[in-house]
Amino acid sequence: MSREELRADCGRCFGLCCVALTFSVSADFAINKDAGEPCRNLDDDYRCGIHTELRPSGFAGCTVYDCFGAGQKISLKTYGGRSWRDEPSTAKQMFDLLPVMRQLHELLWYLAEAQTLPPAKPLQQELAAAEAGIEELTRLQPDEILGLDVAAHRQQVNQLLLKTSELMRAGARGKRKDRRGADLFGAKLRGADLNKANLRGAYLIAADLRDADLRGADLIGADLRDADLSGADLTGAFFLTQSQLNAAKGTTATKLPASLTQPAHWH
């Protein structure tokens, strides 16, 4: 699969995330909605009626969700273009499938990225084999996919991603560069030297990362909700996703990896 196929394309999906997911009134959602209940903003053509006004309408949570292309895969491939409205008997299974397929597509995203990183060249065969194996899982029948031990597959892939990270961050020095899983909630890290830092799974919620040097940092799973990345340099940062950026704050002065785009709410 190309990385383009691993980008959400709402125009080729049956609005699955607008139905399958649960909403709870909060800073992220303006309404309560049970899983399996269509969002009130979902139009008959499966498009969002307030897509361009999600944040001011109280649906910021929708702007940070990324299915990694799982929605269109389920809609067009797994179910052959037959929607949950066309065949209500498949609706629950289709909705249950979304979070599982999303996890598989997320793994494919990381594996695809890892193969583009020159320092990871020694792992190319292993990475390609792992990618092919996960892609094969996405082509199984719905009941087979729902029966997968996704956690076991994630663990296997993670071992390769850890090796990739080590190769990418070779030469990083100092204890401050290893912040894996660190609690950095609201941390004052303006201008911090985090070049080649290990920030896997770090809690950077509302952290001040203005003008920080994050070049070559491993950001897989880092929680960047409301983190201020204004002026930060994320050039070469890896395993960073669009949804992580969408959850953060930034400006046009923030330097991003070439594969990602500046969120619409950044100025």
Question: Does residue 200 sit in the same domain as residue 76?
Answer: no
> Is 265 part of any domain?
no
Its domain, for residue 189, covers 177-260
Q: Do 64 and 119 share a structural domain?
A: yes
Give domain status of residue 267, yes or no. Answer: no
Shared domain for 59 and 10, answered yes or no, is: yes
Half-sphere exposure of 54 (CA within 13 A, CB side): 19
Mean pLDDT throughout 130-134?
A: 98
Query: Where are any strands of DSSP class E within 220-266?
Result: none
| C-alpha to C-alpha distance for 146 and 98, rounded to whole angstroms | 10
How much is the average pLDDT of 230-258?
97
Residue 216: name the closest of 170, 147, 156 by CA. Answer: 170
54 within some domain: yes
| Confidence (pTM) | 0.95
**Is 82 inside a domain boundary?**
yes
pLDDT tens-digit readout, 65-122: 999 999 999 999 999 999 999 999 999 999 999 999 999 999 999 999 999 999 999 9
Q: What does the DSSP assignment read for 181-209? A: T-B-TT-B-TT-B-TT-B-TT-B-TT-B-
Residue ending a domain, among 119, 140, 168, is: 168
Q: Which of 168, 202, 236 is the last residue of a domain?
A: 168
Question: CB-based burial of residue 1 (10 Å sphere; 0-12 exposed, 13-18 middle, 19+ buried)?
Answer: middle
133-182 pLDDT, tens digit each: 999 999 999 999 999 999 999 999 999 999 999 999 998 776 668 999 99
Tell me the mean pLDDT in the region 181-197: 97
**Looking at the predicted structure, is the pLDDT value of residue 9 above 90?**
yes
Is residue 237 included in any domain, yes or no?
A: yes
User: How far apart (Å, rounded) are the C-alpha atoms in residues 246 and 141?
Assistant: 33
Q: Are residues 232 and 193 in the same domain?
A: yes
Query: The domain that contains 255 carries what CATH number?
Result: 2.160.20.80
End residue of a domain, out of 105, 140, 168:
168
